[in-house]
Amino acid sequence: MSDRLPHEKGFHISWDQIHRDSRALAWRLDKHGPDGGDWRAVVAITRGGLAPAMIIARELDIRVVDTISVKSYDHQTQAQATVLKAPQADIMGTDGEGVLIIDDLVDTGKTLELVRRMFPKAHFATVYAKPQGRGMVDSFITEVSQDTWIFFPWDMALQYVEPYRGT
Ligand SMILES: O=P(O)(O)OC[C@H]1O[C@H](OP(=O)(O)OP(=O)(O)O)[C@H](O)[C@@H]1O
Ligand code: HPA
Ligand SMILES: [Mg+2]
């Protein structure tokens, strides 16, 4: 039990770091499609999955890229996960087999649970994972503790900080 606010245990990720971690995820997924072959398509779970999905599609030379829009948080408050936009049916096939579905992170696993129900044979990959949602993801790069809030570079800006020995 902690009286810390979520942002007080923060894992701050730079553009460089997410680029490296997304590349590492791509290399791990290479030639792991059906029968050890290539993936047919990349689907990003927007909005957070867009940047990692772009990097992965580039690394693996996948040109078929689509999105699924799932909204589950208002800032740091979790709400019911809902699908606002589905990917193209001809890309997904009946069950998503051969498709890589990418998100920036899995936290409680609610978002992936919803998308998995729609496409049970797709491969689900995130760059970061928290323990509660780890069972929902097939591949990930870095695990952080459940009480850590991950701050992504698209939500941050460079700013002045007071020196350690303040005035
Ligand atoms: O495992 P869960 O507990 O479901 O949480 C993970 C999801 O929450 C965040 O998305 P969010 O719904 O905040 O939307 P965004 O990607 O547009 O920021 C994050 O990008 C994941 O998609
Ligand atoms: O730790 C997090 N960081 C950013 N967005 C999130 N959405 C769920 N958990 C997180
Ligand atoms: Mg998201």
What is the pLDDT at residue 8?
65
- Indicate the helix (H) or strand (E) that contains 70: strand 65-74
Distance CA 65, CA 130 (A): 26
Ligand nearest to the CA of 73: 1
Rounded distance from Cα 59 to ligand 1 centre (Å): 24
Q: With a threshold of 0.90, tell me whether the complex ipTM lies above it.
A: yes
In a domain, 133, yes or no: yes
| Cβ neighbour number for residue 5 with a 10 Å cutoff | 10
Ligand nearest to the CA of 153: 2
What is the pLDDT at residue 4?
58
Q: Are 49 and 99 in contact (CB under 8 A)?
A: no
Distance CA 43, CA 71 (A): 16
Is residue 16 flagged as an active site residue? no
pTM: 0.92
Is residue 104 part of an annotated ligand binding site? yes
pLDDT tens for each residue of 119-134: 999 999 999 999 999 9
Say whether the peptide bond before residue 47 is cis (omega within 30 degrees of 0): yes
Round to the nearest angstrom and report the end-to-end CA distance of the chain.
34
- Indicate the helix (H) or strand (E) that contains 56: helix 50-59
In a domain, 59, yes or no: yes
Is residue 103 flagged as an active site residue? yes
What is the pLDDT at residue 167?
65
What is the pLDDT at residue 70?
87
Six token digits for residue 117: 């129900």
- Does residue 72 have its Cβ closer than 6 Å to ligand 1? yes
81: domain CATH number is 3.40.50.2020
Six token digits for residue 146: 């459940």
- What ligand 2 atom has the least distance to the C-alpha of 11? 1
How many domains in the chain?
Answer: 1
Which domain range does residue 134 map to? 11-153
Q: Are strands 10-12 and 41-46 parallel, antiparallel or unpaired?
A: unpaired
In a domain, 164, yes or no: no
More confidently predicted of 164 and 113: 113
Task: Label residue 122 exposed, middle or buried (CB < 10 Å: 0-12, 13-18, 19+).
Answer: buried
Q: Which of 103, 138, 147, 155 is catalytic?
A: 103
- Does residue 152 have its Cβ closer than 6 Å to ligand 1? no
What is the pLDDT at residue 1?
44
Rounded distance from Cα 165 to ligand 2 centre (Å): 31
pLDDT tens for each residue of 60-72: 999 999 999 988 7
- Residue 120, amino acid: P
Q: Region 102-128: what's the mean pLDDT? A: 97
Q: Are strands 77-85 and 65-74 parallel, antiparallel or unpaired?
A: antiparallel
In a domain, 162, yes or no: no
In a domain, 160, yes or no: no
Rounded distance from Cα 71 to ligand 1 centre (Å): 7
Is residue 61 part of an annotated ligand binding site? no
- What ligand 1 atom has the least distance to the C-alpha of 113? 4
Q: Are 133 and 109 in contact (CB under 8 A)?
A: yes
